[in-house]
Amino acid sequence: MSTTKRLSWRVAALASATALAASGCGSGGGSEDSPDDPITIGVSLPLTGDFSEPGKGVERGYKAWAKIVNDKGGLLGRKVELKILDDQSNADRVVSDYEQLIGRDQVDLVFGPFSTRLVVPSARVAEEYGLLFVEPAGAAPEVFTQGFKNLFYAAPAVANDHYNHLADHILALPEAERPKTVAYAAMDDPFAQGTAYGLKDKLEKGGIKTVVDEVYPPNTTDFGSIAAKIASSKADMVVGGSQYQDGVNLIVALQQLNYQPKMAAFSTAPTEPEFAKAIGNKTEGILAPTGYTQQADYPSNKEFVEKYTEQFGKAPEEDEANAYTTGQVVAAAVEAAECASQDEECQSKLIDWLRENEVETVVGPLKWDDKGRPQSAHMIQQWVDGEIQIVLPEEQKEADLVHPKPKW
Amino acid sequence: MSAKENEQGQGQEEGKEHGLATVGLTKAFGGVTALDDATVSFRHGRVNALIGPNGSGKTTFFNCVTGMIRPDAGRTTYRGRDITAKPPHRIARAGIGRSFQLCRVFPRMTVLDNLLVAVRPPNLLAQLAGARKREETERARYWLTRMGIEHLERAEARNLSWGQQKLLELAGVLMSEPELILLDEPAGGVNPALIDRICDLVRELNAEGRTFLIVEHNMDLVMSLSDHIVVFDRGRPIAEGPPSVIQSDERVLGAYLGV
Amino acid sequence: MPSASLVFQSIVLGVLLGGLYALLAAGLTLYFGVMRVVMIAHSAFLILAAYLAWYAHRETGIDPLLTLLVTVPLFFAAGVAMQRLLLTRLRPATLTMMSVLLTFSIALVIEGLLGYAFSGTQRRIRLGYSSASLEFFGARIAVVKLIAFGMAAAALLGLYLLMKHSRFGQALRATIQHREAAALLGIDTDRIAGYGFGLGLATAAVGGTALALDTTIYPSLHWHWIGPLMAIIVVGGLGSVPGAAIAAMALGMTQSLLQLELSTTWAQTVFYVALFATLAVRPQGFFGGRLAQRF
Amino acid sequence: MAAVVAVALSFPSMAPSPYELTVGIAIVNYAVLSTSWNFVGGFTGYISLGHGAFAGLGAYTTALLVTKADLPSFAALFVSAALVAVLAVPVGYAALRVRGASFVIVSIALVLIMLLVFQSWSSFTGGSRGLVVPRPFPGMLRSEHHEVFYFLFLALLAVALLTWWIIDRSRFGMGLKAIREDEDKAQSLGTPTYTYKLVVFVVSATFTALAGGLYGLWFGDLDPVFQFSILSGAYMVLMALLGGVRHLYGPLLGAVIVGYGLEYSKLEYGDTPLHLVFAGLLLGVVVMFMPDGVIPAATGLIARVFKTGETSIREVTAAELREERGQGGAEPAPGSPGQKREVKQ
């Protein structure tokens, strides 16, 4: 081996090692609480890559929360400061982000990332460092079976319970009106699949037959074959465990085949603002669960919608609301425990308090079971007269559920 | 090792046993038939030549015989053993070495390493032993010396001149201890002085017992060097015999002139 | 057991899908034919064309088909430029391997820039006739799928006529068959190879527009396309345009039919199963000529 | 060399927080992966873009052996590497029978098919719900856990480098390098090229699987989308190529540069997808302008500056001219030794 070769390698290795060490030293060590220091809150979000769209929604929600809190004088008299990193929709990154936030940047608190796929690995980091982990997006059942003691999902219900009101409604219908066969198509994603399969389990228990059960990978763009299967089954009802664009594609493909079910329910997609335009306004009668409505008259929601609209020029959607809820939940715990720092005592106070108490949020009052599952339910919305309106449960409804659904 | 081979080579009764022979060798590429039912045999212990116009199938013949391409039909035997469609390295180990039409060396290996590639480890474990064992290095240097390029042993092969690369290629072939050496246009692109040098080497090596089969366009070289000539046209032999016979064969003239 | 009408519907869908695959695989085969280059960025250009169609439609409302007037010449020029400026500068000895990496890097750059310009959001062109369909012997065919198929078929036919009946096509075929021999015949193989590359990229422009009509697009979608396409060209025999087209149809159809019994994901594996089976049984592909043997 | 080892060994005690340790682990993991890749890429010149599949398989098989077969973690790691080695045989059989292009295609297809299989077969692999790998050292603090794995990765790197070094100087390695230079020629000299390629492919897959398995044990959460990613395979290639595939420490150097660069560019330009553009441009530049990596490029530069090098630029050009002719297969232009000398000066 030549001298130059050896030299170049040695220099590079030394440089990188010292650079890492130096950059670590520079910003570490700011962990002592002092009343003037802001409370720093670390978040990793998918701002680029496959989950970037909802990731950016969550980011806006967090930013709105921070602004609203700071405008009112902060938490415990301290300003809050968000440190948001981009995990590129990648699990390796999300873990290393939380390592950085907790270890190097010494943030006082952390908020969860977006997407179930990223929540589990990052919750583990927080768990192992003993930090409270409230998250806005991990709704799939798997999130709550890992034995995490520090995790709380800041939304009304886990994925499998999203359709609970609809299931109850269908099973209560008179025999003649009740759909007899159902076709399910779900994206291979823990959240999307969870919503469809939650409904499937309940309907099957009620004796309603499953005739199609399709799972498609998240990168599916051509839904011709799946739609053909569903159309050919002539199922009375179709249920899509969808995110956004796949739901649109599936509906368009079904419409291309002129399939007319009596009932059609899709998660997420129909609640998006662009939905009607995307499917050419043929939305009549489509059902969707939602955890959030801008019209909800919870006191904090009015403030949220107003100030959010002021800040971003449009009204908040569900992702934004869930992020905001996360902020509200953590804030409630911080105010009750009167502390916000990484030390063990403080974090366990926060966790214990949330275990025992109910928090008022923009999605209503929330409380959790011992696994961190929220104990409320999602509302069911339906497109009626060209507008998406709440139809279930009875006490919150804005319109009556239309059944059977008109042709699309 | 090479001395022992020499004895073997000279021990064969010349002419009685065929060295390399093919029966009905056929190869088509798409619609073009490169080898058409070629049945031909070459003398063991002699310098054989294979000539013919461009596109008459000489190189395809080499490639089929050495296993580089698989013939569509026909058989190849070497000293009675069937070597049809055997993988090239097996054919090499059966004692057939070859050079390539455009001289091919390992461009970014040293001259010495170019030869050491041809060493065959005796067993599996020896595969992991160091590649530059003394006796092998000595043997490599012997061949480099005979080629007259021993002073270049540490140079990378790509930095050699064309002629030096030709000699290096030949040294590499010899390092693999072949009985039969197939040379594809050894004089191609080489200056006259070096042609003489290569001719001398072929004669010397033949005298030491190695058989040659040479494809060459340089007729002076072919006629002066070879004992036995086979002429190919359109993928099959049309004439064979000693130089004196071939020179006066009308079919050969016809093939070359396209009559 | 799926009903007869569903099987028929699937066959129709398979043909429609196979048409698009065939066009794109033809492009991939052209690159390989003229340059021995496995062009990983082919599907990235496909998505780029789809984005251009979508963007033009969103901004100006013009029909995506009209963008072809711009994208086809643009892509042709880009293909020629890519061959002349990048690929010919690679060392011939390592061209095949290095060109894979080079085109891979181009794919990454395209994906990154698309993500930068349009974000990772899934996009879809909203056409008035998106959900319209026709009845065809009991099967329903979406109008957009039919248009997409028509574009692919027309482009393939054009390619076929060009290669079979024009002087350029003859030169191109000769170059693909045997580049050295073609050069000896006085064909400027470098120039022909450049044009071959441009033609290949032009198929991506047509394919991308066809794709944008009926499906969602997003920057990383090209990974989803490149696998099946590469499987197709190996099964068809590297370098054989008709082989690629036949393999594309066969595999597109198989995929569509398999979806009747299997899940969407499992059905996609048909491409890779075919790829491995081909390489294990008949490495030169099922329709390949002598070109395929050494690669 | 000793200084490098000393720095590597003392790094955990120098790291100010566990975060720096995780970056260290990531870089050493990259180094193992690209060194493993370099068994195939460096020796034979066959570029595999699909080594991510072997890493993913190593991780998943280890995890499944721990969770389903109740094997102890590290026994599972080695059994998994053995299983991947067995699987690599038929893959190599299909991929290596034909040259070049098909190999690349198979390597990419391997990642894509594994992604499909591990997604679809969710009853066994957990599919998109993911698979949790139990910690090998339960009860250990997270920072200690990082430290242990840092040294495990370092040990694996040492073994991989040692193996590469042994092969490099062996007859086997000589044969492999001959394949890289000219496969036909190597065959004609008696090298059983197919067997050689297959063996080294399996060795490479095994080391990659070990790295993947170790990563799985360390990281704990597996998801097919992240495990079977074509991008991770591409990074291996980029790192090895950047450092220099012909050098023992090339991939390691590349891993340090790329690993540190990724971390840095994320800190600086975090939330844009431009990191893909950077990676793409870097790969393109390496391929176009320094296909032998930074080590030869740097030594070449130094040699040129001090005029001590054995090779002159114009010589290389002459050799490449000839090589081009060799590839083109046209009639050789008569280049006499005399003419060559002129070019050589």
Work out the mean pLDDT of chain A and round it to a whole number: 86
Within 8 A of D169 by CB-CB distance, chain B residues are 130-132
- Chain C residue numbers with beta carbons less than 8 Å from the beta carbon of A229 are 2, 6, 259-260
How much is the pLDDT for A35?
Answer: 61
Among A183-192, A224-233, A280-289, C234-243, the range scoring the smallest mean pLDDT is C234-243
Average pLDDT over residues C122-131: 79
Task: Kindly report, residue by residue over A39-81, the tens digit of the pLDDT.
Answer: 999 999 988 877 888 888 999 999 999 999 999 988 998 999 9
The yes-or-no verdict on residue D312 having pLDDT over 50 is no
Dihedral angle sign, alpha carbons of residues A313, A318, A320, A321: positive
pLDDT band at C288 (very low <50, low <70, confident <90, very high): low
Best probe of the A interface among D128, D154, D266, D290, by most A CBs < 10 A, is D128
CATH of B2-104+179-257 among 3.40.50.970, 3.40.50.300, 3.65.10.10, 3.20.20.70? 3.40.50.300
Question: Residue by residue, what is the 3-state secondary structure of A104-130?
Answer: HCCCCEEECCCCHHHHHHHHHHHHHCC
The residue of chain C with its CA nearest to that of D276 is: C112
CA pair distance D189, B91, nearest whole angstrom? 9
**CATH label, D2-279, candidates 1.10.8, 1.10.287, 1.20.120, 1.10.3470:** 1.10.3470
Q: What is the pLDDT of residue A354?
A: 93
Q: Using CB atoms, pick whichever of C90, C102, C115 lies closest to residue D276.
A: C115
D171 at interface of B, judged by CB pairs closer than 8 A: yes
From C17, C2, C9, select the one nearest C270 (Cα to Cα): C17
Residues of chain B with pLDDT under 50: 1-16, 259
Is pLDDT above 90 for D123?
Answer: no
A236 pLDDT higher than 90: yes
Where exactly are the structural domains of chain B?
A: 2-104+179-257
Tens digits of residue pLDDT in A391-406: 988 888 888 888 888 8
Give which of B56, B78, B154, B146 is closest to B109, Cα–Cα: B154
How is residue D140 written in tokens? 């250990």
Q: Inform me whether the pLDDT recorded for D226 exceeds 60.
A: yes
Confidence check on the interface: ipTM exceeds 0.95, yes or no: no
* pLDDT of A322 strictly over 80: yes
B47-51 and B228-233 as β-strands: parallel, antiparallel, unpaired?
A: parallel
pLDDT, mean of residues D14-37: 92
Tell me what the mean pLDDT of segment A256-282 comes to.
Answer: 87
Average pLDDT of the residues in A213-232: 87
When pLDDT is averaged across residues A139-164 and rounded to a whole number, the result is: 89
The verdict on B11 touching C (C-beta cutoff 8 Å) is no
Residues 40-79 of B with CB under 8 A from D: 66-68
- Cβ contact C232:C21 at 8 Å: yes
- pLDDT score for D195: 92
- By C-alpha distance, the chain A residue nearest C9 is A228
β-pairing, A379-384 with B32-43?
unpaired
* D163: contact with B, CB 8 A cutoff: no
Q: How does pLDDT run across A297-306, given as a tens digit for each residue?
A: 888 899 999 9
Taking the model in full, what pTM does it have? 0.88
**Closest in C16, C140, C216 to A221, CB measured:** C216
Band of residue A180 on the pLDDT scale cut at 50, 70, 90: very high
Q: What pLDDT score was predicted for residue C143?
A: 86
Give the model's pLDDT for residue C216. 84
**Residues in C 86-125 with any Cβ partner in B closer than 8 A:** 93
d(CA D38, CA D50): 13
Share of chain A above pLDDT 70, in %: 91
Domains of chain C: which residue ranges?
Answer: 12-220
Question: Does the pLDDT at position A27 exceed 50?
Answer: no
State residue B219's pLDDT score: 87
Report the distance separating Cα A119 and Cα A123, nearest Å: 6
Phi, psi of D200 (to 5 degrees): -70, -30
D271 in A contact zone (CB under 8 Å)? yes
Which range among A195-204, C98-107, D261-270, D320-329 shows the weakest confidence by mean pLDDT?
Answer: D320-329
Contact C104 D276 (CB under 8 A): no
Q: Two tokens at B175? A: 């390092």
Is residue D326 over pLDDT 80?
no
Do C269 and D284 count as a contact with CB atoms less than 8 A apart? no
Out of C38, C272, C280, name the one closest to residue D101 (CB).
C38
Q: Do D194 and B87 count as a contact with CB atoms less than 8 A apart?
A: yes
The reported pLDDT for the residue numbered B25 is 93
Nearest to D11 by CA among D135, D210, D141, D146: D146
For residue D193, the distance in angstroms to the closest alpha carbon of chain B comes to: 8
| Interaxial angle between packed helices B162-175 and B192-207, expressed in degrees from 0 to 180 and rounded to the nearest 10 | 10
Q: How far is the C-alpha of C200 from the C-alpha of C156, rounded, in Å?
A: 11
Q: How far is CA B40 from CA B103, B215, B239, in A?
A: 26, 14, 10
What is the least distance, in Å, from the CA of C187 to any CA of chain D? Answer: 14
Q: Are B83 and B115 in contact (CB under 8 A)?
A: no
pLDDT tens, C8-33? 888 888 898 899 999 999 999 888 88
Q: Which chains have 3+ CB pairs within 8 A of D?
A: A, B, C
Q: Provide, rounded to the nearest whole percent, the portion of chain C with pLDDT above 90.
A: 34
- Ranges of beta strands (E only) in A124-189 are 133-135, 151-153, 181-187
Q: Which residue of B has its CA nearest to C177?
A: B30
Lowest mean pLDDT among A222-231, B212-221, D302-311: D302-311
More confident residue, D305 or A57: A57
Query: If you average pLDDT over residues C240-258, what whole number do you get?
Result: 89
Task: Tell if the CB–CB gap between B173 and D167 is shorter than 8 Å.
Answer: no
| Residue spans per domain, chain D | 2-279, 293-329+339-345
pLDDT of D45 > 60? The answer is yes
Q: What is the mean pLDDT of residues C117-121?
A: 82
Using a CB–CB cutoff of 8 Å, tell me whether B238 touches chain C: no
Inter-chain CB proximity B128 and D174 less than 8 Å: no
Instruction: Say yes or no: B69 contacts chain C, CB-CB below 8 A.
Output: yes
